[in-house]
Amino acid sequence: MSKNNVKPKVKEYQGKDFSYLAVATDVSGYIGMINEWGDEVIPCKFTSIEKTKACKDGLFILAYNDTGEYLMNDKGKILADQYDSYTFLEQSDLVLISIYDESGEKCGAVNVNGELVIPLKYDSIEKLCETEGLDDTKIMGTDRRKTVYETDDLEVIEKNEKKGVIRKDGKVILPLKYYSVFLTDTNPVYICAGQAVVHNENEIMIDNALFDQNGKELIPFENHSIIINNENGWIQVNNREKNIYFLNQNLEKVLNLGDQYKSVGVFMKIRK
């Protein structure tokens, strides 16, 4: 029986405290989540992480595989798997849930402990939100830290589909020759620039380098990817040997995952 046809057996994480989680894909293509210590909190037994939502009491995680959708908390405990749909609202610490039967849709809500706090008595999400005073205009997906294109001193510019960076006084920091350019919103500011490389006949790979705020190259163009928008301020480097590691704001290596994961997303806060 294949891995994704088996209902996942997960247990609540008992390791040391953590503040961030990132979606990780193992070498077999299965998906889970790791914390900033590199521990696998949500085991890589899923085919997708559909949504996440940080609230004051913790992180909701909606994971999916061929056996169904699983609402989990930030310790990997399954809160619910018996509902047909799950809706996250930006302004609420509840998850709206629905079931469908011969009589139609029935909607309610669970809290961060998986407790049914609004019974399954409404015939639509819109009716539930209207009656319970919830804002259904801001239905959300996965939390993501925004990519930055401007800081107090620097600005990303574009011309003829090429990008560069200038300082606000007009000085050119990076010339207009890059496929992509992003800035960190940290102090010091770092610049991630990408150039397109033909990987094979059907795929273009973006090769990244890292620069300081004066345009000095810090990590050369020999990496598969560099991710700079982690909520904990770390910089992820995925090099050509498929080794993934993380640097802090002093560019010191703080976490080395080696080649155990195919890819790792951004680290996000588990509480807002």
- From first to last of its 272 residues, what are the pLDDT tens digits of the chain? 444 466 777 788 999 999 999 999 999 999 999 999 999 999 999 999 988 888 888 889 999 998 899 999 999 999 999 999 999 988 788 999 999 988 899 999 999 889 999 999 999 999 999 999 988 766 655 545 567 899 999 999 999 999 999 999 999 999 999 999 999 988 899 999 999 876 666 667 788 999 999 999 999 998 778 999 999 999 999 987 779 999 999 999 999 999 999 999 999 999 88
pTM for this model (two decimals): 0.86
Residue 131 has a CB neighbour count (10 Å cut-off) of: 11
